[in-house]
Amino acid sequence: MSEDELRAFAEDLHEMVRASFGDSSGSLYNDSFTEVVGESLIEDGAIEGVEPCYFRKETETGRGAMEVFGYFIGRGGSVLDVFTAEPNRKAEVLRKSEVQRALRRARAFVERCRQGMHSDLAETDKAHPMALAIHNAWPDLKRVRIFLLTDGRVTVDAWHEDQIAGLRCTYELWDIARLFRLAASGRPEEDTVIQLDPPLACLPVPGDEDYSCLLTAVPGAVLAKLYDEHGAKLLQRNVRAYLQARTKVNKGIGETVRNSPGRFLAYNNGVSATATAVITEPDVRGTPHISQLTNLQIVNGGQTTASLHHLWTRDPGSLERISVPVKITIVGTEALDELVPKISRYANSQNAIKEADFQANGVFHVALEKLSRAVWVPAREGSTVQSHWYYERVRGQYQVDLSRRDRGAQQRAFRAENPIAQRFGKTDVAKYELTFLRRPHDVSLGAEKCFQIWTEQVLGPPGEQVIPDRHYFQQLVAKAILFMRTRKIIQSLRLGGYLGPTATYVMSLVVDRCADRLDLEEVWRTQALPAWLDDMVPSLAREVVRPLLVDAPGAGNVTEWCKKQACWERVKASAWTA
């Protein structure tokens, strides 16, 4: 990639962040930057979620200074992700000392939260819920990850891990070059290269012209460590979510590990995985051993993997006698989207997978993509300029489409016809639709889970889906405008954290109380929020955010409270009237 490409991409990222709020500096811009970049990392599988919340505290000497841009507590409360950033760097180089300073300040923040910094903050301080959540989560944490997000260029490849109060602390650097590779790849995830030491003996099995297979047995601890290191990225193409060993299969795994570890290989169906490349090396007897895997994806056996990880985190020695049978299918990147869903469907024999789970690239999404390229937004009064709302069926399409054009006039024309602020993806569709179906608690479950619920319960199985037409597309865009502009108003109010849940709950309450006043056709024509709603949102947001969302029953976790239907029932029963 050239410097010109990186600068142009950094400018696009800046415009995307500005479109999310409308300013180019300050704490609101910082929150928007964290959210926009965080969404890419969520889709990549690098993180489960992000709660933007900019906080900075300087000291006279600089020692002990703190600065963070957000946080998230994931993997069942066992992993703390903390985000710091260097925004507005426009592809310029960050010196090593600047990287060190940013990471040190984030680390100092984590340490102070552990010690109880929330007691020193006013409850009205937007950082108070973040500090309190980290402090309360600390006893159950197994790992801390600190992310540096920047639109500048980082010259160091990695940062050595260390510990915070005995917990493993790792660092991830996401600069403009890495973000560009992610956006321009047109693939669902960044390349992940796994080195196996010691290598694993395997048996090559001939396949067809577009794939080959390797059979191996992976020690349970190795599989658990891979999941611990890479998390959701290993399961991204797997349609299941791990639910803390609640199903019979997961309980059975635990019983076998405890009572009959030597028979695990015989009892367990094992794991089916794919990789885009594998390096094997022969030992002294000529037996091939796997030493490196690229883009390993567990497409069947995700529950086995996560269950073993669950047991390993509590007792690493419990997996000493466990071996897991694994079939690795080596598939070229061009065949991934065709073969992987079929492998997952046909290989599965543990729990039934519904057909709707495989429809991310189905006829609905293909039709919606075609509409988004064909339907023009109405020109504003006195203007002839028109544009598209660009539906990104596969993440990275926008950047790939842009890069196909010659730099200069062609790319400027593409950006004018497809403004980056009018780009949306599959999980956005689910968010808008479930919000307008008055299901904010489902939206609050997170992008991927929200998409799964919408696909299964609303979109429906193949053959029963309503294929979108021009009218549907225009109504969907109107919903997007209402949601996005409402959210922007809420962000400007500086009410504290929980912007995402507040926005979806406010919009759902508006639909619940004011459905007869919402004219989606008018919103499409004007491409704007109705004046009456613009005036109403600030007071409604204040009505919702603290008494109904933040003040969770029993001083519970706000993020978890927002995911419950009881939370929506409480908001819906509020005395607010339009």
**Average pLDDT along the chain, 578 residues, taken 10 residues at a time:** 85 83 69 90 82 88 86 87 94 94 96 95 86 92 95 90 94 93 66 90 87 93 89 61 44 86 88 92 94 89 84 88 93 69 60 43 86 90 80 80 82 90 91 97 89 88 82 97 93 79 93 93 94 92 75 68 90 80
Give the pLDDT of residue 496: 67
Residue 284, phi then psi, degrees to nearest 5: -65, -25
Give the containing element (helix H, strand E) for 545.
Answer: none
CA distance 339 to 348: 14
CA distance 375 to 249: 48
Check if the beta carbon of residue 294 is closer than 8 Å to that of residue 196: no
Name the nearest CA neighbour of 448 among 183, 241, 231, 228: 241
Cα dihedral 194/196/197/202 (nearest 10): -170
Q: Is the C-alpha dihedral spanning 502, 507, 510, 512 positive or negative?
A: negative
How far CA 483 is from CA of 363, 456, 546, in Å, comes to: 25, 23, 20
CA distance 432 to 424: 11
Residue 483's identity, in one-letter code, is F
Helix (H, G, I), strand (E, B) or coil at 274: strand
Give the pLDDT of residue 472: 96
Name the nearest CA neighbour of 397 among 188, 178, 190: 188
Give the pLDDT of residue 510: 94
Give the pLDDT of residue 475: 97
Give the pLDDT of residue 337: 62
Give the pLDDT of residue 190: 64
Residue 73, phi then psi, degrees to nearest 5: -110, 115
CA distance 338 to 343: 9
CA distance 445 to 501: 9
Q: Where are the domains of the chain?
A: 3-184, 193-353, 367-572
Give the pLDDT of residue 561: 84
Q: Is the C-alpha dihedral spanning 119, 125, 127, 128 positive or negative?
A: positive
| 140 CA to centre of own chain | 22
Give the pLDDT of residue 355: 39
Give the containing element (helix H, strand E) for 326.
Answer: strand 323-331
CA distance 127 to 496: 7
- Give pTM, 2 decimals: 0.67
| 330 CA to centre of own chain | 26
Give the pLDDT of residue 298: 86
